[in-house]
Structure 1
Amino acid sequence: MTKNTKHTPAMVDHVRRDLMKRFLGLGAGLAISSTWSTNSFAAASDWQTVADTKPVKVTDHVYALYARGPWPTLENQGFFANIYLVKTAKGIVVLDTGTSVQIGEMALRAIKKAFNQPVIAAFNSHYHGDHWLGNHAFVNAYPELPIYAHPDAIGAIENAVGADWLNQMIKATNGAIEGTKVTAPNKGVSHGQTFNYGDVTLKVHSYGPAHSPVDIMIEVVEDKALFVGDIIMDHRIGNPSETSFQGYIKTLNTIRSEMSDRLLMPGHGKPGHDKLLRNYEDIMNGIYENAVKAVEDGLSIAETKELVLKDPRIERQAKVTEGFEDIGKFVNFAYTEAEQAAF
């Protein structure tokens, strides 16, 4: 397995604190154990098989297994992030593998039924558990399968972040993903790296921290399609505590200037073109530009929130976007980043 030494204990600790706040509402200063008992959860026996999902054709070579809701629940068994399947002459390439071994097994059944081709590779867009915990099923089926990710994602998952995400997803689904084992990606990738699978070329794009510190996007070159992971979501915003607003805006600007004609395939929600990109440009610029102005004008965080909420871009998106009840968190982190940038 590929080892990585670039990740830092500070990164691991930051992610663990984020997980506490996201799922437990605890203060950031508390410690968290990666060996929690799951005895108090509902029995998983009734949830060991995830109902089959039929792949939906998205482009000439890409098919989607669409998630069943924007957040993890017992009812959707943690299936709240999309899985994309790239059909190539050499086999199937999987873009994100889901939140559990059960979801991964469902994806494998779908692949066998729809294509009857082997899985030859997988990519994990970042280290949030809903995008890689399904690796367990794919490695069970294909022990030598290459699973690609940002190099620092590999190190972080192998060093506590993986176990914490597993425990948090077990809790968030009331035990529905019990039996899943941490299975880290095993091959690091770099920006611009390409993979040729006969009739399909995949290209890695990585522009630095945005949604997380370890984001990668995968372009399906022949189809002019770009798997954006959680950098862009459809009618959804996630927890902002790992977000680099400046990095986010840089990445969105790059997509706008260099790949605006691509079909954008998000980890959450349905694919789209300009409107999907514009929606996220509105959200991130609407928050951060107002935070910068507030810092320059000496406004408080509370005043900054009022400024953000009055921005027409935010008013428009708040009405149609899941997660806007946490806008105060976004403002707080944006304000802090703008303060740091000012010094």
Structure 2
Amino acid sequence: MSDPTASSRFVEVADRVWVARYDWFDVNVSVVEGERGLLVVDTHASRAAAEEVLVDLRRLSARPVVEIVNTHVHVDHVLGNGAFRAAYGAVPVTAHEEAAAALPEQAAAAQAHARGSDDPREQGIADTEVVVPDHTFSSVTAIDLGDRVVELVHPGRGHTSGDLVARVEGADVLLAGDLVEEAGNPVWGEDSWPMDWPLSLDLVLSLAGPGTVVVPGHGAPVDLDFVTEQRSAIGVVAETVRDLAGRGVPLSQALDTGQWPYPAEELVHAVRRGYEQLPRSQKRLPLV
């Protein structure tokens, strides 16, 4: 039993919008309150981790969770879905259609990797039931919380093919998932879209104003200037890949040849994926 007098980890960042930041993965879980109840955005990385979130959430509010949103497919944001359903019943889980389609394979790979770990928290990943989002959309959708609406927008491919951002009616806040990164540099994984990411962030920026609080998937909330600067650096990565490929620099030499805004060792997947995604017309052949 949690102590109802204990403080919650959740911090209010806008009107009836709270964010809790958890050490493991330095991941954020956000909560939006409406007349119907609570909407939770991202659910952490395992059942055990989500149960920790649930303790904090109950200290924050006695209202029920009535909606769940997953910002993208990666397991640190979705594997707590089952714990929330165990606590609150068959709550709808909404994600972009690409994220929902990719989750079974993504989760299976993460769980297989976790089984070989000595870290009890990672073992928790292996032991967690995977709950795939049952409400999906392709471009834009909205969740009605009674007295306010949360708009979900797929701005395009970037960190993954199925990223979404959430814009809350009546609160100048944008929940951006891993399209925006504050805890470290942006992360280009094997499922990233480096050539699309800058344009997707342009759409995200169009949804924000000078006073908007932007909540990243990891780290502290940021402002519009931070997102603009990060978009510029992500754009430099994409344009450098385009330039190198257009000059016929082979992929094997690209990391050493380019002038990058981030450490080259963090850009292995960004460069490889970028070369793969460029149309043939933008590459000087042969590339070896």
The answer to whether residue 169 in structure 2 is matched with residue 221 in structure 1 is yes
Given candidates 135, 143, 153, the residue that maps to 1:187 is 135
Q: What's the offset of the Cα at 1:186? A: 1.6
The answer to whether residue 194 in structure 2 is matched with residue 245 in structure 1 is yes
Correspondence for 1:282 = 232
Cα pair 2:197 2:234 within 8 Å, conserved: yes
Given candidates 67, 70, 89, the residue that maps to 2:22 is 67
The gaps in structure 1 that reach 5 residues or longer are 1-51, 69-75, 319-323
Q: What's the offset of the Cα at 1:220? A: 1.1
Q: What's the offset of the Cα at 1:102? A: 1.2
Correspondence for 1:38 = none
Query: Where in structure 2 are the equivalents of 1:1-343 lying within 5 Å?
Result: 54-68=9-23, 76=24, 79-158=25-104, 160-169=105-114, 171=116, 174-176=119-121, 177-178=123-124, 179-234=127-182, 235-261=184-210, 262-301=212-251, 303-309=253-259, 311=260, 314=261, 318=263, 325-338=265-278, 340=280, 342=282
SS in structure 2 of the partner of residue 202 of structure 1? strand
Structure having the larger proportion of residues in strand: 2
Kindly provide the amino acid, as one letter, of the partner of residue 266 in structure 1.
P
Q: What's the offset of the Cα at 1:260? A: 4.3
Q: Which whole-Å CA distance do the structure 2 matches of 1:296 and 1:155 have between them? A: 34
The gaps in structure 2 that reach 5 residues or longer are 1-6, 284-288
1:192-251 CA-partner distances (Å, limit 9, x unpaired): 212221332100111332111111111112112111111111133224321212321211
Q: Which whole-Å CA distance do the structure 1 matches of 2:93 and 2:138 have between them? A: 14
Q: What's the offset of the Cα at 1:258? A: 4.0
Cα pair 2:72 2:162 within 8 Å, conserved: yes
SS in structure 1 of the partner of residue 140 of structure 2? coil
Q: Which whole-Å CA distance do the structure 2 matches of 1:273 and 1:327 have between them? A: 25
Q: Provide closer, same or farther for how the CA distance between residues 144 and 245 of structure 1 changes in structure 2, counting only shifts above 3 A.
A: same
**TM-score (norm: length of structure 1):** 0.72
Q: Which whole-Å CA distance do the structure 2 matches of 1:287 and 1:237 have between them? A: 11
Q: What's the offset of the Cα at 1:263? A: 2.0
Kindly provide the amino acid, as one letter, of the partner of residue 19 in structure 2.
A
SS in structure 2 of the partner of residue 233 of structure 1? coil
Q: Which whole-Å CA distance do the structure 2 matches of 1:293 and 1:61 have between them? A: 46
Give the paired residue count.
272
Q: What's the offset of the Cα at 1:259? A: 2.6
SS in structure 2 of the partner of residue 104 of structure 1? helix
Q: Provide closer, same or farther for how the CA distance between residues 82 and 340 of structure 1 changes in structure 2, counting only shifts above 3 A.
A: farther
SS in structure 2 of the partner of residue 131 of structure 1? helix
**Worse-superposed segment, 257-266 or 211-220:** 257-266
Cα pair 2:13 2:213 within 8 Å, conserved: no
Q: Which whole-Å CA distance do the structure 1 matches of 2:92 and 2:115 have between them? A: 26
Kindly provide the amino acid, as one letter, of the partner of residue 71 in structure 2.
S
**TM-score (norm: length of structure 2):** 0.85
SS in structure 2 of the partner of residue 210 of structure 1? coil
Q: Which whole-Å CA distance do the structure 2 matches of 1:84 and 1:213 have between them? A: 22
Kindly provide the amino acid, as one letter, of the partner of residue 91 in structure 2.
L
Q: What's the offset of the Cα at 1:173? A: 7.0
Q: Which whole-Å CA distance do the structure 2 matches of 1:244 and 1:193 have between them? A: 23
Q: Provide closer, same or farther for how the CA distance between residues 170 and 143 of structure 1 changes in structure 2, counting only shifts above 3 A.
A: farther
Cα pair 1:55 1:114 within 8 Å, conserved: yes
Report sequence identity in percent. Answer: 22
RMSD of the alignment, in Å? 2.4
